[in-house]
Amino acid sequence: MLVAVIVFPGTNCEIDTKYAFEKLGQNVALVFHKEEQLPQGTDLVVLPGGFSYGDYLRSAAIAKFSPIMKAVIEFANRGGKVLGICNGFQMLVEARLLPGAMKRNENVHFISKFHPLKVINNNNTFLKKCTLNSLVNIPIAHGEGSYYIDEAGLKELYANEQVLLTYCDELGQVKNPNGSVDSIAGICNKAKNVFGLMPHPERAVERILGSDDGVKMLEGFIN
């Protein structure tokens, strides 16, 4: 499988993301944002974490107009699989590939720590190797990760099994670090080929570094 990891000015998780997918035995190409085409044979596009364009104006507001994004949007609209992590999730909502919007954390602080998540839906490529209602423990690191969607949009998300992950405590009880609507940490689009989450599975692939729960998440993309 060929994974294209897109690098914007200010992206800082591309090497971790490359490492994680290579550890899973996949080929990874780092693709600079000024490219206009994805590498031939791309199976998965990953928009990694970071602070593209310094978070100027709004997180990911400017990245969505980078030359490569036209190709990424076309790829997604043709059914290609896209994963947005953290700043990548923000890009996907800014580019309207995913519904809703991202706001400043409710406590106005940048939060960087491991946080348990509950698997709300695994009927999709991304989380098919995770057990329903099980917990995964992976890091979050964001200042603008408060997911917002209006009531009608939220209903639609649930109706279409688009709510994938929510924040919780070690026992699986609701715990909301950033003020996200319904503690939502990750969603997908209606067609279930575009996935976004604020937490970082690529930072949790070695037990010696705290957790390898990210492995079974990213493995979902590998046939």
CB of 154 to another protein, least distance (A): 13
Instruction: Provide the 8-state DSSP code for 211.
Output: B
Based on the residue annotation, tell me whether 86 is a catalytic residue of this protein. Answer: yes
> If we measure between CA atoms, which residue out of 141, 8, 138 comes closest to residue 62?
8
How far is 79 from 221, CA to CA, in rounded Å? 14
Based on CB atoms, which residue is closest to another protein, 29 or 101? 101
Of 62 and 68, nearer to another protein (C-beta) is: 62
- Residue 45, beta-bridge partner list: 4, 82
Tell me if 107 contacts another protein by CB under 8 A. Answer: yes
Cβ density class 193-207: b for 16+ within 10 Å, e for less: bbbbbbbbbbbbbee
**Going residue by residue from 161 to 200, which x/- string records binding to another protein, judged by CB under 8 A?**
------------------x---------------------
Q: Could you tell me which residues are beta bridge partners of residue 161?
A: none
Site string for another protein, 1-40 (x = CB under 8 A): ----------------------------------------
- CB atoms near residue 209 (< 10 Å): 10
Site residues, another protein (CB under 8 A)? 57-58, 61-62, 65, 93-94, 100-101, 103-108, 146, 148, 179
